[in-house]
Structure 1
């Protein structure tokens, strides 16, 4: 048995088995794969623990700032729930394939609930290769010199998407550091019209195979001009140039965004769900 639940989190000796498990669905596992590839399996560096209820190729979950079930059946989810409830909660959300995330939440809700919000239908999209429309030539990498101009747009996007002000508590210092790290990694893109950001997006996670786009936002005064589609195409083209698959997930009710992503060439490959926990 590898990394038996209740014994220990998965560690370095389980690396090959974990890699095989994550490769079963590289798009759905991108967020976890990116961390494992960058930091290994040590919880100290990974920013969380990888759990299995038996062997990683048949059950796997990540527990950190998010609780992410990746593989498993009903019995595995019971064990993951027991493990999550055995210590104080550290995650702010449960996110992952809907057929795993929602049943896991049902097992946790009586203790962790009520949730702040449940987004139970988030199409997981992927684009293999280049976009089918021309990218916006005015979308470019954001530099550190742009951070002061970029930051307000990122905050507005975050509040609209997550419903929380990222500046609360520390006046935005931690969120600003997160953005600065992404900028340094050349994973932040924007269109600037003068000093105003009219489109923005980030590659939030980057594994060897997949780049997951997040934080897509168009300035309200600039909406209706198609900037979301051609801007996202610019980010997807940058990912394709690196030989990676572009991916993102979107709320099913966001019809405008779904139309934009379809225009770019994205197709649905799965369904995610997110439970935001207070």
Structure 2
């Protein structure tokens, strides 16, 4: 899945009014506050309750976002205990958010419509957030109400799929080859191109993935014909996104071995658990993932704004 979040803007967050009277109105302490580097361990503990579902936010924390993007991670506390999180930048992503946390997060971010391009994450929390925010932020451009979250539970080889030996990590000198494939995938998935005008920022985001060893490709005759990325890695989980096969190569048996190779490399060299989420209406992709050992372990949802 591609995300319009290559460069998440730094947000200044209202951390909530203190108890007291202002203009004759009693104001109460909000249970939501912007987290800081001091909250790192507690926030990761919240993510670890379901590492597969929360890997996106856990990865941002491990990458140092609490220091580099102050205000982008909100926390909800019951008493002194941090119980829920919400990544709130170019995307809104809830973590372990129950009904009370969802209402509180929505109240905090309700005025941020123009700063957010999508909501995604565990389906119940995303739908709860949209119920609170839709009247203020709507209409949505697209609602993907059920996106099965999948994890590899059987190895591709055990499923009878031999990894494609031509699939490998992309090299940094191949950015020019990867960009067209990545842009095609993004446009197919989201409905508009990942950039207008200059492609500088987009190329930088692609180069960053490649430099971390998180982009996998098959190249034929100087052209990328298959691509997949690891978008997030944390807590023993690697989440795959941006899976794309050149249209003329589809339906010919290339997808399964290519995905098997990606799974094999990730499991050996990146993280022991490989996950992704897929649109429920994408029958060919779901069939491919099933054949290489993915099983449904949860439900995501995405609201595109």
Deviation at residue 94 of structure 1 after TM alignment: 0.4
Distance in 2, Cα, partners of 1:56 & 1:154: 41
> Which one of 57, 63, 77 corresponds to residue 38 of structure 1?
63
Whether 2:176 is the aligned partner of 1:176: answer no
Deviates more, 1:253-262 or 1:223-232: 223-232
Q: Which residue of 2 aligns with 1:266?
A: 294
Deviation at residue 51 of structure 1 after TM alignment: 2.4
Q: Which runs of 5+ in 1 are unaligned?
A: none
Alignment deviations for residues 59-92 of structure 1 (CA, whole Å, 9 cap, x no partner):
2211111101111222211111100114454221
SS in 1 for 2:243: strand
Whether 2:165 is the aligned partner of 1:137: answer yes
Which residues in structure 2 correspond to 1:47-62 (within 5 Å)? 48-54=72-78, 58-62=83-87
| TM score, norm. by length of structure 1 | 0.91
Deviation at residue 257 of structure 1 after TM alignment: 0.2
Alignment deviations for residues 15-51 of structure 1 (CA, whole Å, 9 cap, x no partner):
3321211111001101111111120533x34682232
> Which one of 239, 245, 248 corresponds to residue 218 of structure 1?
245
Q: Is the 8 A contact 2:58 2:234 kept in 1?
A: yes
Whether 2:36 is the aligned partner of 1:11: answer yes
Q: 1:190 to 1:81 in 2, by over 3 A?
A: same
Return the index of the structure with the highest Cα Rg.
2
Q: Which residue of 2 aligns with 1:159?
A: 187
Q: 1:214 to 1:56 in 2, by over 3 A?
A: farther
Deviates more, 1:238-247 or 1:156-165: 238-247
Aligned length: 273
> Which one of 208, 230, 236 corresponds to residue 209 of structure 1?
236
Whether 2:279 is the aligned partner of 1:251: answer yes
Q: Is the 8 A contact 1:21 1:56 kept in 2?
A: no
| Cα RMSD, aligned residues only | 2.0
> Which one of 76, 98, 107 corresponds to residue 73 of structure 1?
98
Q: 1:116 to 1:86 in 2, by over 3 A?
A: closer
Q: Which residue of 2 aligns with 1:232?
A: 259
Whether 2:213 is the aligned partner of 1:189: answer no
Alignment deviations for residues 114-146 of structure 1 (CA, whole Å, 9 cap, x no partner):
001000010000115743322110111111221
Whether 2:116 is the aligned partner of 1:116: answer no
Q: Which runs of 5+ in 2 are unaligned?
A: 1-15, 17-28
Distance in 1, Cα, partners of 2:120 & 2:300: 7
Distance in 2, Cα, partners of 1:137 & 1:180: 23
Deviation at residue 227 of structure 1 after TM alignment: 1.7
Distance in 2, Cα, partners of 1:46 & 1:263: 42
Q: 1:5 to 1:33 in 2, by over 3 A?
A: farther
Alignment deviations for residues 138-170 of structure 1 (CA, whole Å, 9 cap, x no partner):
1111112211122111111110011121131x4
Stretches of 4+ moved more than 6 A in 1? none
